[in-house]
Amino acid sequence: MRNKNIFLLSVTSAILSLCAATPYKFNFELPVFEKIILSGLPSYQVVGVVAGDTIVVDMNNQEVKVRLTGVKPAEKYSVELALFVKNLLKGENVYIVDDSNQNEPNKYGYCIYRVPDGLFVNAEIIRQGYGLVDTIAPFKYMAQFQQLEEFAKERSKGLWDAGRLVAAKAVAEAGLESVS
């Protein structure tokens, strides 16, 4: 038994040393976003998630739907995206920032930042692979979002992980269509 344990330890050590000796290099680094000054902006409590690309906030005691710019749910993963957003923003307050590159900001959405850490929610959804970049209308961070989508693909994150398809189908078959 002692010889078997020594052998397994030796094999494990050899495998780990090979992995450490040949690190995988990814094709690119994550994009850098300009620093947004959020102090002084009003924050709003998230009270629901209509879909992965739309949240509901309490704005002066009225529930208002806010669409996230640059985020599009993948057809087979819309429920999974909504659950991701719900878990990310459940009980949180957010800052809502207009995408100044749009002529009709209310039509295509806003940039959402989580309070207090300033997490850029729209970008995090794409980086984690739970949504696609919505290219239907140009927006300020389109190039960075496309880089984040490539990052998620290359690392098999979220919807780019083949194993997630099975889970997404199971959730859809269970009849979960909306998240609030």
Domain boundary assignment for the chain: 35-173
The band of 178, judged by pLDDT with boundaries at 50, 70 and 90, is very low
Q: How far apart are CA 166 and CA 47, in angstroms?
A: 29
**35-173 classified as CATH 2.40.50.90:** yes
pLDDT digits (tens, 9 = 90+) for 44-82: 999 999 888 999 999 999 999 999 999 998 887 888 899
Asked if pLDDT for residue 152 goes beyond 90, the answer is: yes
DSSP state of 32: -
The band of 177, judged by pLDDT with boundaries at 50, 70 and 90, is very low
Asked if 131 and 79 touch (Cβ cutoff 8 Å), the reply is: no
pLDDT digits (tens, 9 = 90+) for 22-37: 344 445 577 878 888 8
pLDDT at 98: 86
Spatial CB neighbours of 139, under 8 Å, sequence gap ≥ 6:
69, 70, 99, 101, 102, 108, 109, 145
